[in-house]
Amino acid sequence: ANSGLQLLGFSLAMLGWVALVVSTAIPQWQMSSYAGDNIITAQAMYKGLWMECVTQSTGLMSCKMYDSVLALPGTIQGTRALMVLSLVLAFLAMIASTVGMKCTRCGGDDKVKKARIAMTGGIIFIVGLAAFSACAWCTHQIITDFYNPLTPVNAKYEFGSAVFIGWAGCALTILGGALLSCSCPVRESKSSYRASQSYPKSASAKEYV
């Protein structure tokens, strides 16, 4: 792969990582639903991975951090753990990709070694994308609770903006990691084949002298 393809893959993966950071930080994972007729629309409630917020019709927002981690539902605990794990692995993949790209001088001048490091970084981007599982898990839980007849109408939630940002970040990270994974190292057989071709020329030159 050329340096332009590597730079494109790294840019997409880094943009996806930023989107995952934003998705993990903001509280708009779940937003209150207005599906019923007796719903008070003067305020909107949001639930995130770290806090829950209430927005008034005047635009005033008040947030509260979760008091206990163990008291949280299993979906929020699992989603939080998977998102943090994905961010850490993606950060390590960015470091490895920076060292292995052709446009950088890190990691020495060995092109084969740098290509393998860049390919490793791309694989970490793809394999270590736990955020995909987190977004899928949270999406399934929101749909299940929404269509559950035992759930009160005023306790139903819909998808928030953080879910869509997380899906976009997953797509960009997977695409960027796939492009970085194309950095296959050069085979050594070509260099040995060229060396064998240059040998008869030198021998013929000695015979001529």
Instruction: Tell which residue, 172, 132, 164, has the closest CA to residue 13.
Output: 172
Where do runs of H (alpha helix) occur along 26-159? 74-100, 111-127, 131-146
Whether residue 121 contacts residue 94, with contact meaning beta carbons closer than 8 Å, is answered with: yes
Whether residue 166 contacts residue 131, with contact meaning beta carbons closer than 8 Å, is answered with: yes
The pLDDT value recorded for residue 163 is: 93
pTM: 0.79
Token pair 């209150």 is found at 32
Instruction: Tell which residue, 183, 177, 79, 86, has the closest CA to residue 134.
Output: 79
In a domain, 81, yes or no: yes
In a domain, 70, yes or no: yes
- Count of domains observed in the chain: 1
Q: What is the CATH classification number for the domain harbouring 73?
A: 1.20.140.150
The pLDDT value recorded for residue 41 is: 61
Q: Checking phi first, is residue 108 left (phi over 0); if not, alpha (psi -120 to 50) or beta?
A: left
In a domain, 11, yes or no: yes
45 token code pair: 């409630």
E-state strands within the chain? 30-32, 43-47, 51-56, 61-65, 157-159
**What are the tens digits of pLDDT across the range 66-112?**
888 888 888 899 999 999 999 999 999 999 888 888 777 775 677 78
In a domain, 208, yes or no: no
In a domain, 123, yes or no: yes
- CA–CA dist 186, 208 (Å, integer): 36
In a domain, 195, yes or no: no
Residue numbers of the chain with a pLDDT score lower than 70: 1, 35-42, 107-108, 183-209
What domain range includes position 11? 3-186
In a domain, 159, yes or no: yes
The pLDDT value recorded for residue 206 is: 46
The pLDDT value recorded for residue 61 is: 83
In a domain, 203, yes or no: no
Q: How many CB atoms lie within 10 A of CB 146?
A: 15
